[in-house]
Chain A
């Protein structure tokens, strides 16, 4: 039996008229239209906006990504990702944060800033510092939360040095120094909105014609340290957006409160949409992106979804599942030996698997002609672990996979950054156990 797809009557938040039992078949999924996808997205949005569900939906399309806390758009593969917006509120804005309180005024370098509250005019009559005075309006903003900041200033607008929702070191909101218009979606770095004036250009008089600061609704993920940001990527043939991440990258999601231990996390992976039930999600959730994995669409719910909800989520996420190429590894099953592989001393073959003994900390198992530079490869292997951990690693090809220490199938996605072609497998420091069913497939 087919799952009923949401119709227009569902979109406004109406409950489905009947419970749907099963997910769509793969063949039927392939025929889902853009219009149906939009309806599915609006259906999911209605669950969250009605308050019946908490969590979020993060889609890797560049429309949802920004490079930095100033909201700089992601426009190409290889750019850093500092904001990943939650799609469940569709960019809707919350209530107005601007208030009529007087600002505190930071003076420096001989500046003499003043504020006329009734006229909403900021002035400066003297100064010798290019970054002062600074007018700091306490709006009760929350660090890490994204706000839509917009308005227009008039007067000596070429004297403005910055408009920030934060203090020193924060990135300025982009403004037009001819028209005085400013608009941006920016992650706050403190509770204030700050207007900085170039004191060397005194005297200055600037009127706040209009201003609005409103929260962009949703549970957005932010990272303000460039070294810890993932990179935007796009698959070469299917042209799907995704994010690459190394071991230090993390883009935390800050929820209003912990979602509990009965959460469901759905992810689009190279091998299909995967649901994990009974997951714990704390108020700060660091698992949105994972190092050396195919980071794509993710949906988090604070409970187990119904079959109907699961099917709708699966249809949305299915769109982001890439195609995997053929297995590029020759004799990865080791059925009758280790031909096509070169091995260091501690490795041995027996009974259709490769084994490694203690003392082989620096010993690797290598097959050449497998990978190529700047392409993404999904690598997997079956492990029977006695002790320690192992990983895919090739400094010649420029990649290091994550440590594997669990029995069964382990997999990762790496992007070689050098011209080498080796598939390498080596202990992290020490590994004893066996290895079998090694595969490597390009993410197409």
Chain B
């Protein structure tokens, strides 16, 4: 059984990509409710965000935001779950717009004390 990251990661994407993000959440969530990872109820400055733990082996891949790494990973997860995979173009777009941790919190104007 893989272990989870010790701390939660903040992941944020433009809210306009919500349909794509529902599919992304379904893929990287090891449980069955991943489609609710990103919701329009939880957004700031035009971005939807989630604060979540992920499997440890996924964290460096997510942080890399490299379509060449994301695409085979997400395709494999889609096969395992029996759901439609994301295309390379969709994955490339998500990598381009993804904000992680302080990139988003700074962007969102959170206080720095």
Contact = CB atoms under 8 A, between A and B. Distances in A.
Q: Tell me if chain B binds chain A.
A: yes
Contacts of A396: 112-113
A69 B34 CA distance: 12
Interface in B22-40: 25-26, 29-37
B42 A424 contact: no
Interface residues of B, number: 32
B7 to A, nearest CB: 5
B51 A231 contact: no
A432 interface: no
Contact of A69 (B32, B37, B105): B32
Interface in B69-113: 79, 81-83, 105, 110-113
Contact of A422 (B54, B81, B83, B113): B113
Interface string A214-258: 000000000111111101000000000000001010000000000
Contacts of A168: 81-83
Given A80-B4, A169-B82, A248 B33 contact: no
A78 interface: yes
A301 B9 CA distance: 37
Contact of A79 (B4, B36, B52): B4
B29 A226 contact: yes
Contact of A72 (B1, B37, B111): B1
Nearest to A75: B1
A420 to B, nearest CB: 9
A398 B51 CA distance: 13
Nearest to A223: B33
Contact of A68 (B3, B30, B52, B54): B30
B18 interface: no
Interface in B1-18: 1, 3-4, 6-8
A246 B53 contact: no
A227 B32 contact: no
A226 B29 CA distance: 6
A366 interface: yes
A317 B110 CA distance: 38
30 contacts: A69-B32, A70-B31, A72-B1, A78-B4, A79-B3, A80-B53, A130-B79, A131-B79, A162-B82, A168-B82, A169-B32, A169-B34, A169-B81, A171-B31, A224-B32, A225-B35, A225-B37, A226-B30, A226-B31, A226-B52, A227-B37, A228-B36, A248-B42, A362-B111, A364-B111, A393-B113, A395-B111, A395-B113, A417-B7, A424-B113
Which 7 residue pairs across A and B have the least CB separation, nearest first?
A224-B33, A227-B52, A225-B33, A168-B82, A68-B31, A227-B50, A225-B36
Given A68-B31, A395-B105, 5 more contacts: A169-B32, A224-B31, A225-B35, A248-B42, A366-B113
